[in-house]
């Protein structure tokens, strides 16, 4: 089951990991560009505006150079025609275009107006394409994750899966709306810029290009070292943040063991390791900045010196030299930007691989469109396990259930008891089809579960766990989760039957009370009653209660038990319970031990067997040792 990028040993990193740029990784990334297809018209227009933006940007230094030449026409006219480099064979002479000063100013403002329009359109179009593509990707990825089987979630970290939807998709979105746009703009700028500087002066162009690659290589070497040091500092800072989180989350333990000094020592050591790394990184950054200042300004000075000699010799104008220097700056800046773009590309390829891994996973065949229960698959409540065996997908060598046979008639209450780890909760998971049996079959009303669509089956089952999960909305929304189409009257009635209405109406906002993350604002008994109201509203044919009262005090248990009695009326119920009070009334008690059905019968029948497992469990509980 575990696949590359989804090992349970993986650690979630804040920074998106990079992968090598290869033919395979690029091919993988291009698959996600299918999300751009619905918006290809705007994408193409965005490309056009990128090209126009790059051209208009480079037109600015050209016009500035012509403005300088217009201010000193005598100097321009002294240049001999024969000495002008790269004169066009078709009669167009870039160097001999002479414009009036006022004309150049008007052209500059025309250029700025066009550049403003082009820049706005390219940013707007690529952002729109990127955001809409991202929304489509998020929807597909979220939908895919929702269809994944429970075996998938047992091997993954929730934080890592959330990161796929947040960081990875954001990285891909940035690549579409920002990095790709900047890369294409950089390529256009580079192509046009190099063409123009060669038109101005091939000699100066070769002089500059002879020096720039050396600086670029050294800059990359420095950059790699600095990024490694920065990443190390981030990791160390994250480690210190982990210490803070652990300390505050376990503050009661820290104070109980009087470990304040220990924790301060641990945190101090962590943050000073960050300081050492940051100082070391500062040395590299300082050397890098100093090197770049010397190299860049030295290169500019050298190119200016060559250009000045050309002006003295009459082969170049001051305006041409100005154009050359400014456009060279654009070209150099574009070269420098490619390193960061390449880094972003590596991150995007890494994010793409992880997203594609999820999209390629085989999910459950669930219906993602709300549909009513089909009469052909309607369940009355009879259940039968025939020779069922099961082992978890990640632990196939360990048999959890072995040759389980059990039956439940419509409306019966079946209690599942046994020592911890015997396989009781696994039976509940198989009833809900969270997992498939390794061997044997499960039948609902004599229909093999394999012949019942998964969504149709789960619509007719309700599950109330020990640790109730409530969503961060209102009490009304949490109850209505059992049946989103229920009326307000039905929701209130469900709350009443679950003994939840009284405490709900005691809140100032009543049904509109926000429960907080995971229902943190409610007590355990209150959360259980909301979960029961949710199950009542669903009106299932089969109910599964997984130790629903084991963590409650006596008063809460009494209220919850009364609510459960209301819930269990006229429906088949499987109860996984430790407390005798919830077992005694069961129509059938099934004792599971080491993955097999060891005993079954009513409470009165099983209690008579002095050497039976059930009798021992009851005796232990009656003695006050809650081992059931």
What is the mean predicted confidence (pLDDT) over 272-283?
Answer: 79
Q: Return the structure tokens found at 170.
A: 């954001």
- Per-residue pLDDT, 88: 43
Q: Are 318 and 71 in contact (CB under 8 A)?
A: no
DSSP code per residue over 517-534: GGGTTS-HHHHHHHHHHH
Say what percent of the chain tops pLDDT 70: 84
**pLDDT greater at residue 28 or residue 152:** 152
- d(CA 97, CA 211) in angstroms, rounded, equals 30
pLDDT at 95 over 80: no
| Average pLDDT score, the chain | 78
H/E segment holding residue 414: strand 413-417
Q: What is the pLDDT of residue 443?
A: 92
Lowest-confidence region among 317-321, 365-369, 384-388: 365-369
Question: Helices 180-200 and 40-71 sit at what angle, rounded to 10 degrees?
Answer: 30
Q: What is the mean pLDDT of residues 228-250?
A: 76
pLDDT of res. 130: 82
CB neighbourhood size of 82 (10 A)? 7
Angle ∠(17,23,24) on CA atoms, nearest 5: 65
Strand (E) or helix (H) holding 439: strand 439-444
Compute the C-alpha angle 297/300/302, nearest 5°: 110
- Contact yes or no for 541/457 (Cβ under 8 A): no
Asked which of 226-230, 318-322, 395-399, 467-471 is least confident by mean pLDDT, the reply is: 226-230
Backbone angles phi, psi at 524, to 5 degrees: -60, -45
Mean pLDDT value of segment 113-127:
88
Question: Is the distance from CB of 427 to CB of 401 less than 8 angstroms?
Answer: yes
Edge-to-edge strand list for the sheet holding 596-601: 461-464, 542-546, 572-576, 413-417, 588-593, 596-601
* From 112-116, 131-135, 277-281, 333-337, the region with the lowest mean pLDDT: 333-337
Q: What is the pLDDT of residue 626?
A: 44
What is the average pLDDT across 176-197?
80
Report pLDDT digits (tens) over 417-458.
887 777 888 888 899 888 888 888 999 998 998 888 888 888
Closest CA to 94 of 199, 11, 2: 199
pLDDT exceeds cutoff 50 at 507: yes
At residue 56, the 3 state secondary structure works out as helix
Is the predicted pLDDT of residue 601 greater than 60, yes or no? yes
pLDDT of residue 515: 79
pLDDT tens for each residue of 16-74: 555 556 666 666 667 667 788 888 888 889 888 888 888 888 888 888 887 887 777 55
Strand runs (DSSP E) across 10-137, as ranges?
none
CB-CB contact of 164 with 355 (8 Å): yes
**Residue predicted with more confidence, 587 or 177:** 587
Q: pLDDT tens-digit profile of 294-307?
A: 877 787 788 888 88
The DSSP H or E segment spanning 408 is: strand 401-408
């Amino acid at each position: 089951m575990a696949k590359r990028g989804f090992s349970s040993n993986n650690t979630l990193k804040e920074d998106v990991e990079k992968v090598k740029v290869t033919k395979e990784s690029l091919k993988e990334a291009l698959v996600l560009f299918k999300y751009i297809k619905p918006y290809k018209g705007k994408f193409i227009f965005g490309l056009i505006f990128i090209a126009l933006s790059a051209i208009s940007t480079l037109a600015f230094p050209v016009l500035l150079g012509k403005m300088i030449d217009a201010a000193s026409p005598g100097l321009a006219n002294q240049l001999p025609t024969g000495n002008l480099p790269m004169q066009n064979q078709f009669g167009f002479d870039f160097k001999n275009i002479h414009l009036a000063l006022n004309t150049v100013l008007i052209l500059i403002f025309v250029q700025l107006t066009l550049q403003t329009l082009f820049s706005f359109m390219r940013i707007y179009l690529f952002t729109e394409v990127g955001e809409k593509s991202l929304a489509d990707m998020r929807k597909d990825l979220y939908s895919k994750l929702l269809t994944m089987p429970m075996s998938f979630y047992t091997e993954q970290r929730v934080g890592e899966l959330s990161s796929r939807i947040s960081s990875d998709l954001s990285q891909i979105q940035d690549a579409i709306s920002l990095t790709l746009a900047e890369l294409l703009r950089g390529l256009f700028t580079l192509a046009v810029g190099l063409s123009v500087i060669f038109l101005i002066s091939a000699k100066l162009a070769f002089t500059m290009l002879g020096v720039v690659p050396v600086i670029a290589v050294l800059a990359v070497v420095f950059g790699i070292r600095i990024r490694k040091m920065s990443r190390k500092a981030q990791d160390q800072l994250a480690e210190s943040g982990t210490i803070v989180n652990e300390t505050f989350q376990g503050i009661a333990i820290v104070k109980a063991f009087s470990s304040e000094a220990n924790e301060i020592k641990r945190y101090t050591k962590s943050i000073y390791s960050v300081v050492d790394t940051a100082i070391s990184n500062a040395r590299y950054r300082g050397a890098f900045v100093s090197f770049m200042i010397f190299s860049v300004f030295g290169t500019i000075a050298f190119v200016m010196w060559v250009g000045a000699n050309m002006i003295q010799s009459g082969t170049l104008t001051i305006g041409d030299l100005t154009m050359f220097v400014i456009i060279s700056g654009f070209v150099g800046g574009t070269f420098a930007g490619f390193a960061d773009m390449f880094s972003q590309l590596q991150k995007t390829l890494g994010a793409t691989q992880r997203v594609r891994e999820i999209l390629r996973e085989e999910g459950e065949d669930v219906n993602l469109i709300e549909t009513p229960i089909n009469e052909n698959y309607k369940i009355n409540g009879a259940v039968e396990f025939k020779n069922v065996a099961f082992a978890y997908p990640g632990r196939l060598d360990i048999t959890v259930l072995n040759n389980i046979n059990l039956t439940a008639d419509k409306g019966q209450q079946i209690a599942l008891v046994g020592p911890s780890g015997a396989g009781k909760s696994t039976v509940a998971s198989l009833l809900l089809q969270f997992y498939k049996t390794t061997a044997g079959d499960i039948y609902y009303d004599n229909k093999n579960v394999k012949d019942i669509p998964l969504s149709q089956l789960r619509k007719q089952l309700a599950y109330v766990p020990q640790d109730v999960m409530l969503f961060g909305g209102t009490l009304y929304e949490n109850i209505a989760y059992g049946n989103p189409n229920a009326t307000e009257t039905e929701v209130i009635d469900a709350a009443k039957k679950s003994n939840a209405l009284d405490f709900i109406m005691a809140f100032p906002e009543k049904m509109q009370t926000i429960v907080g993350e995971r229902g943190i604002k409610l007590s355990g008994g209150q959360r259980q009653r909301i979960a029961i109201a949710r199950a009542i509203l669903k009106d299932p044919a089969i109910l599964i209660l997984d130790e629903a009262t084991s963590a409650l005090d006596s008063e809460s248990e009494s209220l919850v038990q009364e609510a459960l009695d209301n819930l269990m009326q006229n429906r088949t119920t499987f109860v996984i319970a430790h407390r005798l009070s919830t077992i005694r009334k069961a129509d059938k008690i099934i004792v599971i031990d080491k993955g097999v059905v060891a005993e079954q019968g009513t409470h009165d029948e099983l209690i008579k067997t002095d050497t039976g497992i059930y009798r021992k469990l009851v005796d232990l509980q009656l003695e006050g040792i809650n081992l059931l």
